[in-house]
Amino acid sequence: MVEPLRSFEEMYAAAGDDLAALPWANLKPFPPLVEWLDDRGAGVDGAALVIGSGLGDDAEELARRGFEVSAFDVSPTAIERTRERFPDSTVEYRVADLLDLPAEWRERFDLVVEIRTLQSLPIADRKAAATAIAGTVAPGGLLWLHALGREERSPRDTRPWPVTPQELAVLEAAGLRWESHREDLFDADLYEVAGTLRRVR
């Protein structure tokens, strides 16, 4: 029998204090994001939003570097754990659903960081999710993206479901343009997509 897919909330709750048991939880900022921030230095600043912020490490890294950071996750337990981990944080953490974001976040952020959330969402929600992510980027602002990708439209039968070029094209349709874009082969027909997109209209 195939085990039913567990929600993220169920996974965070089941992990309890054993946060390292969560397959995506590194308990440190995502190294490619840190590298990019080191390279870009003071070139980007202002208000930042972290999509699907998990246990908060990337949001904290941005706050440490002087960004005014908002971050959200659909899982209340993830946000609770994050607040426990970083009790003195300046980040505004919220429980929120990417598919139903607060209206005040519309085109508000100079930097939006999306790491491995899109690929976690059911295929049917991808277009709306990518549109919602793009919608938070301010005019002239940047989206920093990292995802697992694949060419074929047919999804794998287990999560994560890598994103396709057609799904990422939604970001461009929503007014963003790639400024940097790289694809690194990950495994067989899978690759990692990384890059930045700027709002041009």
Ligand X SMILES: C[S@@+](CC[C@H](N)C(=O)[O-])C[C@H]1O[C@@H](n2cnc3c(N)ncnc32)[C@H](O)[C@@H]1O
Q: Which of 19, 24, 64, 192 binds ligand X (CB under 6 A)?
A: 24
Residues 112 and 144: beta-carbon distance below 8 Å: yes
Q: Is 27 in the site for ligand X (CB under 6 A)?
A: no
Nearest to 175 by CA among 125, 93, 112: 112
Q: Is the Cβ of residue 42 or residue 157 nearer to ligand X in the bound state? A: 157
Q: Is 121 in the site for ligand X (CB under 6 A)?
A: yes
Whole-angstrom distance, CA of residue 27 vs CA of residue 95: 19
Whole-angstrom distance, CA of residue 130 vs CA of residue 69: 20
Q: Is 49 in the site for ligand X (CB under 6 A)?
A: no
Residues 141 and 110: beta-carbon distance below 8 Å: yes
Q: Is 56 in the site for ligand X (CB under 6 A)?
A: no
Q: Is 52 in the site for ligand X (CB under 6 A)?
A: yes
Q: Is 132 in the site for ligand X (CB under 6 A)?
A: no
CB atoms within 10 A of CB 11: 17
Residues 93 and 72: beta-carbon distance below 8 Å: yes
Q: Is the Cβ of residue 98 or residue 174 nearer to ligand X in the bound state? A: 98
Q: Is 118 in the site for ligand X (CB under 6 A)?
A: no
103: CB partners within 8 A, 6+ apart: none
CB burial readout 159-185, b (16+ within 10 A) else e: ebbbbbeebbebbeebbbeeeeeeeee
Q: Which of 29, 36, 93, 116 binds ligand X (CB under 6 A)?
A: 116
Residue numbers 85-104 binding ligand X by CB under 6 A: 97-99
Q: Is 169 in the site for ligand X (CB under 6 A)?
A: no
Nearest residue to ligand X by CB is 52
Q: Which of 60, 61, 73, 110 binds ligand X (CB under 6 A)?
A: 73
* Residues within the interface to ligand X (CB under 6 A): 8, 24, 30, 52, 54, 73-75, 78, 97-99, 115-117, 120-121
